[in-house]
Structure 1
């Protein structure tokens, strides 16, 4: 049985625009926020969506989220180093939780999530080449909200987001290398310039 995944014109248009962007930090942030908002709108009754990545210092952060509920659920996963989003990221697999109130995989995190009113979640890894860059997730307030169709759709969103994150990382790395080379050249110029007597 094949999964039919009809995309709206808006979603197809966003993916097309994203693939051609020349990115700066400002455009990456705004596009990632757009991706999370569209993910929330694409999955009926979804409470919120978010993207987790590493910051330049190597700490896990939520780079974009539709609301504070997502940020709180994510922050506790990072603090506890436990939760579906982190498993999706580390294992490079889609992780679906049909009912957080009865799931036993993350015994420290799920009670907190259910206190927030969350009952279902779906997380997909952000993978570019051989590198796992983070994860994208959606949360819902009803059990059983997500199935195979939603897994495929979220994987599509995560693929597009991974391209953006990888491009932003390349941009930042190139900027750091350029700044380092400029500083090195300035230092070399000072050390080789003739000294006044």
Structure 2
């Protein structure tokens, strides 16, 4: 291949490499999933030639959703495809293969998408599969990185393969964020459970001291009140502890008044 023909390809390879390098910091980022997705789209729109808007589609039950986008027109085009049930972003995600389109040539294939794209001034699109690896308890999430351009000749087969490299790296970054989010949620749930157990144990102790009952009887009283009022046992325990604190505060106030001769 001549140098004249090779130069544009090398330039595209360089920009893709820069985009992948821009994802490097995301691998260690401890941020929610959609925040990471937003950073992935921002990196892509800045690095990919002719990218005027970028979005990320995630296939989730009962319908697909846009996890992040760089421009409202990308979100509008995504949602039009979700509504019609067809379009490049859905095809790329479901078939796990790039879907490249020059808008004017795809009316018979995706008429609703083409009409919306033409109305918004979009003349080419490229959607590439995005796989987000799940944990042992979760299924793999499937989606697509969607690139929309106002330039009809924006994307060639070579571009699709380059962007596949980018989405592979992006998928790893998002998977890492998803694992972190799952771990954070688990820790929060454990902390909440431990605090709830501590409050319930203190309430049981208070009932044992007040009524001279067994621990099982004290817990049964809390459960019975919970069922009678249709609220959680933890809330019953907190109310009991708050009530006792209020009573103790009132008793100390009365004692102070008597000592002062009031």
SS across alignment from 2:67: strand
2:52 paired residue number = 47
More strand by share: 1
Distance 1:149 1:191 in 2: 65
Judge conservation of contact 1:49–1:137 (CA < 8 Å) in 2: yes
Distance 2:186 2:59 in 1: 19
Q: Structure 2: any 5+ residue segments left out of the alignment?
A: 134-138, 212-262
TM-score (norm 1): 0.78
1:136 is displaced (CA, Å) by: 0.5
1:23 corresponds, among 15, 25, 30, to: 30
Instruction: Describe the superposition over 1:124-182 as per-residue Cα deviations: whole angstroms up to 9, x where unpaired.
Output: 11113472432101112233321122102221221222122222222222233333334
Q: For 1:117-136, list aligned pairs within 5 A.
A: 117-129=121-133, 131-136=140-145
Please tell me the root mean square deviation across aligned C-alpha atoms, in Å. Answer: 3.1
Q: For 1:8-157, list aligned pairs within 5 A.
A: 8=15, 10-19=18-27, 21-25=28-32, 29=35, 31-53=36-58, 60-97=64-101, 99-103=102-106, 104-129=108-133, 131-157=140-166
Q: Which has the larger radius of gyration?
A: 2
Distance 1:48 1:152 in 2: 19
Structure 1 residues 42 and 68: CA distance shift in structure 2, 3 A: same
Structure 1 residues 85 and 22: CA distance shift in structure 2, 3 A: same
Judge conservation of contact 1:35–1:157 (CA < 8 Å) in 2: no
Structure 1 residues 185 and 37: CA distance shift in structure 2, 3 A: closer
1:180 corresponds, among 189, 213, 220, to: 189
More helix by share: 2
1:160 paired to 2:169: yes
TM-score (norm 2): 0.61
Distance 1:175 1:59 in 2: 26
Distance 1:183 1:38 in 2: 37
Q: Structure 1: any 5+ residue segments left out of the alignment?
A: none
